[in-house]
Each structure stands twice: as C-alpha cells, then as structure tokens.
C-alpha cells in the first residue's frame, strides 16, 4: 500500500503566495500545474497540506478593465468571486494525477481557538482515513476566508500555514514566494547576499527585512520570517524560496535553493 495512505506518513505544509501564482497580474495555470506536478510526486512519500493565496487576484481578473481601478480595493468581495476560479485551477491541475482537492476556508482566529483547532485536526485525520480506506489521494487546499473576516483581508496565509503546521505536527513547512529567499538586505541590490541557513537558536536577521507587503498579497518577507522562526523553534524545519524556480519544492527540501530555518 502506498505510504501516503497511512497515518504514519510524514506531513509537509506548503504555502504558495499570490505573487508566485501570478503571471502578468493573472493566475497562471502553467505555474499552478508545475506546482501540482511536484506535489503529486511528493505525495508518494508524504502527506501534503497546501495553503494557497490568489483568490483576490483571481477576482480582480474577472472585473472589466475600465472598472478595475474603482473596484480594486473591494477585497473581500473580490476574494469571494475569485475563490471558485482558484479552486477550479488547482482541481484541474491535481486531476491530471488522480488527486482530489478538499477545500478549507479559515481565518487566523480559527487557529487559536481549541474547539476549532480540534475540528481542523479531525478533518485532516478524516482525509487520511478516506485515503487509506478508499484508496484515493487527497490534498487539503486551505485559504484565508476573507469573506467573513473582520475588515479587509485580515488573515495572513503565512500565519495560517505556520499554525496548521504546528497543529498537525508537520516535519516541514515550505513558504513559496517570488524571491529566492532571505537576503542580508534589499534583494534588488548587488551587495545583498542570500542567507542559506538560519539557526533560530543563535541567528537573528529580522532587522534585515523590510516591513513591506508583497505586491499581490497581504503578507511579506517579515511575516514569513516570523512564521519560519516560530515554526523552527517548534522543530518544524522551514524553507523560504522562489516557487517559480524549476522543481522548486524538491530543491527547497533538499536545501539546494532558498533559506532553511532550523535549530
């Protein structure tokens, strides 16, 4: 029996940012397919939970260009419009590998309330049981539920991914973005160097990071750094790297690209 159909399979949480999924300000089916291909390969040896951004950007792509400027900031409604498109793209990409998607919409506070944590743990466990009993393959696909969050897009998917990794006792957490990892300064400057490894018990690079959010999303490198440090402090090895790099997931896990957080 395939090891991914057993409760003993190791767990990895992969978070994909909006800027990773976009090409020319629109969701790219090619990028999503490449990531799904890599996750399908990973499913042969691990249990994978995917946290995906991109619903707001997808919603914006549905608005006629002449109205986009006026409606660009209607983020909660745009997220609702774009969520179905986002899930359709992931569903189609995974279907090529006979993998089913299970959708979950959460807000940050869901990850701090005991009853809700227990409920999410139950869903993840039941997905594994369905895999084992029915011989299916499933990837839970999680996104922030901007539709019900108080205020525009208050849920940060980096934080959601970190919280889920902790609640399911994941071995690894991958935070895929549109830059190559954490740098000693502004990544656009030639004087900045990629930091390959960070021992969270001894190293502190937080002061190197700008507090700016990403162009298309709500998070940024500062958010990813804080999540990665907290995860690594809880013995979840975390990698930050460029999700658009060829075979990024495999190469990040191997430590060949990106920044690795450990203790």
Please give the DSSP secondary-structure letter assigned to residue 125. Answer: H
What is the pTM (predicted TM-score) of this model? 0.92
Give me 29's structure tokens: 């089916």
- Residue 183 near residue 194, CB atoms below 8 Å: yes
Give me 223's structure tokens: 């958010």
Please state which CATH class domain 3-262 belongs to. alpha beta
Place of tokens 């990850």: 111
Give the model's pLDDT for residue 138: 98
Residues 72-91 pLDDT 10s: 999 899 999 999 999 999 99
Residues 129-157 pLDDT 10s: 999 999 999 999 999 988 887 555 466 89
* Per-position DSSP letters for 235-251, written without gaps between them: T-EEEEEETTSTTHHHH
Please state, in angstroms and rounded to a whole number, the distance separating the CA atoms of residues 241 and 16: 10
- Residue 181 near residue 242, CB atoms below 8 Å: yes
Strand duo 10-16 + 172-177: pairing: parallel
Residues 10-55 pLDDT 10s: 999 999 999 999 998 889 999 999 999 999 999 999 999 999 999 9
Judged against a pLDDT cut of 70, whether residue 214 lies above it is answered with: no
Give the model's pLDDT for residue 181: 95
Place of tokens 């004087």: 191
The length of the chain is: 263
């Amino acid at each position: 029996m395939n090891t991914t159909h057993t409760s003993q399979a190791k767990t990895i949480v992969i978070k994909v940012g909006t800027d990773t999924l976009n090409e020319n300000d629109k969701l790219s089916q090619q990028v999503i397919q490449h990531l799904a291909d890599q996750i399908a390969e990973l499913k042969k040896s691990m249990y994978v939970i995917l946290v995906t951004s991109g619903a707001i950007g997808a919603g914006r792509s549905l608005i006629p260009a002449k109205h986009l400027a006026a409606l660009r900031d209607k983020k909660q409604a745009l997220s609702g419009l774009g969520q179905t498109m986002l899930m359709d793209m992931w569903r189609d990409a995974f279907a090529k590998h006979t993998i089913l998607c299970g959708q979950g919409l959460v807000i940050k506070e869901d990850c701090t309330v005991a009853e809700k944590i227990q409920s999410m743990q139950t869903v993840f466990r039941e997905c594994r049981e369905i895999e084992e009993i029915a011989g299916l393959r499933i990837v839970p696909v999680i996104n922030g539920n901007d539709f019900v969050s108080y205020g525009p897009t208050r849920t940060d998917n980096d934080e959601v991914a970190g919280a889920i990794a902790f609640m399911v006792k994941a071995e690894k957490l991958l935070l895929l973005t549109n830059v190559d990892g954490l740098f000693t300064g502004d990544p656009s400057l030639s004087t900045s160097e990629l930091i390959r490894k960070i021992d969270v018990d001894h190293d502190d690079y937080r002061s190197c990071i700008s507090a700016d959010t990403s162009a298309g999303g709500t998070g940024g490198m500062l958010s990813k750094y804080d999540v990665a440090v907290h995860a690594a402090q809880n013995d979840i090895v975390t990698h930050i790297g460029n999700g658009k790099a060829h075979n990024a997931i495999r190469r990040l896990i191997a430590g060949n690209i990106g920044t690795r957080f450990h203790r």
